[in-house]
Structure 1
């Protein structure tokens, strides 16, 4: 189902009416100058990146609360804290996810349901891999060179100094979805390679 639409979310919930763990990871990104971003793009980014999580959490959380167990995880981004000037519309949606996650966590008080968000940094997902390959073609570079240059140019504070692997982010998600993470609720967990230069 296409969870970027209300109809798609309804189709998914009809086919799968209950889940123990909900990972809200539908997301799109596109570098674009702020002054060139039309209203339709703002709406589209909000629908996909935020409303998909709103709709699915609204559908699945009541059952979790009734059963007194469940996990909801939002895949946000370090861009929620360091809004990238080349993707302000994207950063806005990622900040909205943090607010949504924290607010939903308040609804779980006294239960064994948790709601948290994970903040990856640049991660070599399928979409990012395509983006980096396009950059490499544009600049006559290898994919490795383009990836390295992107991190140095656009995420210079990264301590990792490379794109994270999907598995590195998944490991954080596996932990926060586990029974062992029962005391972590309402948190924004950073897996961004040290890009964000704050202690808390």
Structure 2
């Protein structure tokens, strides 16, 4: 199976680390011109270099902008007026008890995890429709359906983006543009590694061991029984962005190791 995205421009938000960076590498390896994004210019520059080293000859650029505001999204759309592939990966998460989460945090999570994708999709989809080809992917989570009691504010945002993706797929019906959401489960990104740091240091565990223990403790319904790697999640995203996925739209595509116990 050969994924060919030559001649396509792909924007991956929140792509200086983790799933986003792995996705940027995968899209570049498939021939796309890739634009990475992060909040800090230094991190963006490092990510651009890393993608170029991973895929020699790749055409890669970067835009530094905080997508948690309309102004930050406008910075991106001003710098990149058009694209063929949009991966709405930017997002934040933090375990925190419901009764300790203030209004400001709820608003922040909604602005970053939901509205960033809404604003960018609203800007880029008309151009995709005019060209009769485009791919939009929203990064959801198994937490969209399996709301974590320790991160209700996060789960809510992932349910929302799954709904937005489904609705936009219907809105773009018959245009040649697909819109989907991809649902990772626990994934060994830098953010998860930071969460596991105390357990690793206290109990002398490797990252893989701590990750497996976390999955079996917090997500016991997992069939995979370990976290996914960022590359495993990125593989699903890259396929979804490809011409090969032309009949897949309006879907919530799972790469969560079987945690959600429905057919």
After TM superposition, the score normalised by the length of structure 1 is: 0.96
Say whether the 8 Å CA contact 1:80–1:91 is kept in structure 2: yes
Query: Which of 230, 235, 241 is matched with 1:166 structurally?
Result: 230
Question: Whole-Å Cα distance in 2 between the matches of residues 141 and 89 of structure 1?
Answer: 32
Q: Which runs of 5+ in 2 are unaligned?
A: 1-64
Which string of whole-angstrom CA distances, capped at 9 and with x for unpartnered residues, describes residues 153-183 of structure 1? Answer: 1000001111100110111011110111111
RMSD, aligned α-carbons: 1.1
**2: CA distance between counterparts of 1:86 and 1:104?**
30
Q: 1:116 and 2:214 equivalent?
A: no
Q: Report the alpha carbon displacement of residue 140 of structure 1 after superposing the two structures with TM.
A: 3.3
Match of 1:4 in 2: 68
Post-superposition shift, 1:148? Answer: 2.1
Match of 1:148 in 2: 212
- Give secondary structure in 2 for the equivalent of 1:118: strand
- CA distance in 1 between counterparts of 2:100 and 2:203 reads 26
Moved over 4 A (4+): none
**What displacement does 1:130 show?**
1.6
Distance 1:110 1:176 in 2: 17
Q: How does 1:66-145 map to 2 (within 5 A)?
A: 66-137=130-201, 139-142=202-205, 143-145=207-209
- The equivalent residue for 1:35 is 99
Residue 244 of structure 2, aligned match among 180, 184, 199:
180
Distance in 1 (CA, whole Å) between partners of 2:211 and 2:86 is 31
Would the aligned equivalents of 1:157 and 1:197 in 2 still touch at CA under 8 Å?
yes
In the alignment, the residues of structure 2 paired with residue 32 and residue 135 of structure 1 have an alpha-carbon distance, to the nearest angstrom, of 18
Deviation digits for residues 84-108 of structure 1, max 9, x if unmatched? Answer: 0100000000000011001111111
